[in-house]
Structure 1
Amino acid sequence: MRKWNNPDDKKAAYLAVLKKIMADKRFAEKCLESDEFARNAFRTIGEIEVPANAKVVFLPEGDLDNAKRDGTGSVVIEMPPRENGHPNSHAMEYVRCTYSWW
């Protein structure tokens, strides 16, 4: 079984899952519908141990194009610690993935 913290293992798992997605439309749809299905895809197809605290999320085809065209693409935000209280000037540090800075 591949290791999640090994970059070469993770790359091999990505490629295995992407090949399956490209070959099987229904499988791709299920990866979009369910984060748990996507996690399981990495475990079974990618043959990699996915840590319990790791999320596997797929975005729909064209998401990047939407972001470039009209700004409607997705954003990924890490939940901030609750004990920090109200957001401050450092709140943007929790934005982990977006296509253009606002």
Structure 2
Amino acid sequence: MLSFKFVLLVIIGCGVVTWLNRVIPFLLLKRFELPMAAVEFLSFVPVVIMAALWFTGLFHQHLGQLPTLDWQNLVASVPTVISAVVSKNLLVIVAVGIVSLAIIRLVI
């Protein structure tokens, strides 16, 4: 059985490593300026992450078969995409997505 001290040190070590991974880029970017091409490229990262999460939520994977479409998520995506185009506010987009999926699941 692992000792309490070892588990505590592992938790603290993981916390420090996680914290350093998030803080070091900010410290480096204070001293250096990124080229405009890198800044423009990095501006697409949040959009790509949201699109990847959305796309993976549209399909159900079945081993040995093609993925199937999740119709509830697809129907809930319509008002969510409309709110994204209109508001361009991430909080509004997430709220509309959650509420529309909840309504769809309540009705069906």
The TM-score range, normalised by the shorter chain, is under 0.3
How does the TM-score come out when normalised to structure 1?
Answer: 0.26
Relative contact order, higher structure (CA 8 A, sep 6+): 1
How does the TM-score come out when normalised to structure 2?
Answer: 0.24
Tell me which structure has the larger Cα radius of gyration. 2
Richer in helix (by share)? 2
Richer in strand (by share)? 1
